[in-house]
Structure 1
Amino acid sequence: MEWIYSTSDPILETLILCILILVMIIIVSRIIGLTSFSRMTSYDFAFTVAVGSLIATILTSSTSFVHGTVAIFGLLILTLITSKLQRKFNFLNKAVANDPILLMDGNKILHENLEHEGIHINHLMAKLREANVMNLDQVRAVVLETTGEVTVLHKSSADSNEPFDEILLRDVKRKV
């Protein structure tokens, strides 16, 4: 049974590290905010993957808790700096963040945009069903957001003339 468990495995040390890492992540997320762990931009995604990798390294290798914590805080400081610079410099925001893109304009499916983004029509149809769209004429717009999520803006009925604020689509790319 040596391949399942070895008596030399540092079980207690691993459990203590788990508790310390959990406390550290809670403190970090309270200081920085939960958006650091969200899927806001590709930068945020890369940050989340890097933190996960650091946590795994701390738990499974000889890297010390302090060394790993310093690395995670270093990444968080870079994230804060990048976030502030993104708000100040639009070109940096464009370099770091994905642009939202229109997948449907009204009832018209924009196949070129779907293809460019690698989205299969079946995925689009699933998102329409999730949004309770019963008829394509109910669709105002479908947007692939910067987070990778698909948002469906729809009318309550196919013949509805509800007002629509175009500001909702202001920064959305219409064509690829």
Structure 2
Amino acid sequence: METWTFASASIIVKVLISILVIFSVIILITRISGLRTFAKMSSFDFASTIAIGSILASVVLNTNQSLLKGSIALGGIVLFQTFFSYVTRKSKRLDSLFTNSPVMLMYEGKILYENLDKTNVGEDDLIAKLRESNALKFSEVRAVILESTGDMSVLHSSETTDLDAKVLQGVKGIPDYVNL
């Protein structure tokens, strides 16, 4: 009998076996498909990671779930993610349709408020990210970029070095006065 605070030995054994089997399957799938399976390179990768976690939890916690069904679902998500990544890599049109572009939020110590508004990022969130990346002065911040994954990249240096144009490749919202 299972209650809020108790589970029978047979249920606990099923959960433990499910953990061993489903995690073995996900390790096998990851070894076959590569580490990109869990990379957050795009919003689609992020969604895939959440779906994989949801399936893992469902199979492990619901002893009525089939391990085979869970394994097939995991494989299907990873296969679709791999296909989607391949298609968006080969087609610029599909890539621009399905993938968010990185956006410049700050450049050479100046906050780009228009880009903050477009991306729905608050100034306090930006400043918190600057602190997290150990930026000590606005003047040391070369650029802050909201990546397609939702992460913020803070490029800063106490030296007055120019940014390599290749580092800003694909970034939207770069101010007009910037010559790259």
* TM-score computed with the length of structure 1 as normaliser: 0.88
Calculate the aligned-residue CA RMSD, in Å: 1.9
Alpha-carbon distance change, 119 to 9 in structure 1, aligned in 2, over 3 angstroms: farther
* 2:117 pairs with one of 102, 115, 118: 115
Residues 97-153 of structure 1 show CA distances to partners (whole Å, capped at 9, x for unaligned) of 211000012121111211222222122112222333222122221111112111112
Partner of residue 93, structure 1: 95
For the Cα contact (< 8 Å) 1:104–1:141, is it kept in 2? yes
Alpha-carbon distance change, 2 to 149 in structure 1, aligned in 2, over 3 angstroms: closer
Partner of residue 45, structure 2: 44
Instruction: State whether structure 2 residue 154 is matched by structure 1 residue 174.
Output: no
| 29-38 or 52-61: bigger deviation | 52-61
Partner of residue 31, structure 1: 32
Instruction: State whether structure 2 residue 142 is matched by structure 1 residue 143.
Output: no
**Runs of at least 5 residues in structure 2 that lack an aligned partner in the other structure:** 175-180
Letter in 2 for 1:172: V
Letter in 1 for 2:126: L
For the Cα contact (< 8 Å) 1:41–1:96, is it kept in 2? no
Letter in 1 for 2:82: L
The sequence identity of aligned pairs, in percent, is 37
* 1:127 pairs with one of 119, 126, 129: 129
C-alpha distance in 1 between matches for 2:46 and 2:116: 22
* Equivalent residue pairs, number: 172
Alpha-carbon distance change, 137 to 6 in structure 1, aligned in 2, over 3 angstroms: closer
